[in-house]
Amino acid sequence: MAEDEKFSRPGEGAQAPSPKRKAKRGWIIGGVVAVVIVVAGAGFWVWHETPSFCNAICHSPMDSYVDTYYSGDQGMLVTAHAEAGNNCLSCHEPVITEQVGEAMKWVADDYPMTADDTKLADGADMASEEFCAKSGCHDMNDVVASTWGFEGNDEKFNPHSSHQDMALECGDCHKAHEKSVLMCNQCHKLNMPEGWEAPNAA
C-alpha cells in the first residue's frame, strides 16, 4: 500500500493557479477583446465612409448609384465630386431618423423603384442652391464669376446668372447620377460641357 501512495493521481500534485495569476489572465483577455472591438469598430467606420458600404448593405437600390460614382462619366456631377475626393456622405449626410426608415424599407423590400428598376423612384431632389452653396461646398459668387462665356460661348452667356433668374435650381441642369442637361439649350444653341446633353435629347 505504501508503494501505491507514492503515485499520485493526475492533477493531484499540480497546484491551483493563484488568484493573482487568474486576475492577470483576465486583464489580458479583456485587453485583447477590447483591442479587437476597437479595431473592428474603426474598420467598420472607415468602410461606412465609402461608396461600397451603401452598395453592400442596401444592394438593391444602391447598385446603380455606386456604379455611377466609379464610372468616370464627365456628364454626371458625381464624377466631379469623386475626383475632388468627396464620397457619398459628403452630400448624403446620415440622419438617424432617415436611416431607421431606410432600414425598415430595406428589411421589408419596400423601396419604390423606377420602371427600369435601377433608381429610387422617390429620390430626394437635393441639388438646390441652398444645399449646394452650404458652408464648405460651393460659393455661388465664385461659380457665377467663373462661368461667363463658359465652354467657349460668347461672354454674355452665363448659366448661373441668366434671365431665368431663380426659376431654375442647380439640379435642373446638374445631375448627380445621370447625364447633366444644359437647360439654356431649350432656346439657345450653346456649347455644352463634356458629356452633357441638351434638354429633351432622349
Parse the chain into domains and list their residue ranges.
Answer: 21-114, 125-202
* Maximum Cα–Cα distance across the chain: 116
Whether the pLDDT of residue 45 is over 70: the answer is yes
- Share the mean pLDDT of the chain: 82
The predicted pLDDT at position 7 comes to 53
Burial track 9-42 (b if 16+ CB lie within 10 A, e otherwise): eeeeeeeeeeeeeeeeeeeeeeeeeeeeeeeeee
3-class DSSP assignment, residue 181: strand
* H/E element, 5: helix 2-6
Higher pLDDT, 66 or 109: 66
Whether the pLDDT of residue 193 is over 90: the answer is yes
The predicted pLDDT at position 165 comes to 67
The predicted pLDDT at position 98 comes to 81
Lowest mean pLDDT among 60-64, 127-131, 170-174, 195-199: 60-64
Span 4-20, average pLDDT: 57
The Cβ-side half-sphere exposure at 196, using a 13 Å CA radius, reads: 20
Span 8-28, average pLDDT: 66
For residues 163 and 177, give the distance between their C-alpha atoms in angstroms, rounded to a whole number.
Answer: 27
> Grid coordinates standing for 200?
429633351
For residues 71 and 113, give the distance between their C-alpha atoms in angstroms, rounded to a whole number.
Answer: 21
7: phi > 0 → left, psi -120 to 50 → alpha, else beta; which?
A: beta
The predicted pLDDT at position 80 comes to 92
- The topology (CATH level 3) of 125-202 is Flavocytochrome C3; Chain A, domain 2 (1.10.1130)
Span 110-124, average pLDDT: 75
For residues 129 and 145, give the distance between their C-alpha atoms in angstroms, rounded to a whole number.
Answer: 16
Q: Place 150 in a pLDDT band, splitting at 50, 70 and 90.
A: very high
Give the highest mean pLDDT range of 28-37, 59-68, 96-105.
28-37
Give the highest mean pLDDT range of 2-11, 13-22, 26-35.
26-35
For residues 78 and 88, give the distance between their C-alpha atoms in angstroms, rounded to a whole number.
Answer: 9
Overall pTM > 0.75 = no
Span 175-179, average pLDDT: 90
For residues 119 and 112, give the distance between their C-alpha atoms in angstroms, rounded to a whole number.
Answer: 9
For residues 105 and 121, give the distance between their C-alpha atoms in angstroms, rounded to a whole number.
Answer: 13
190 phi and psi angles, rounded to 5 deg: -105, 155
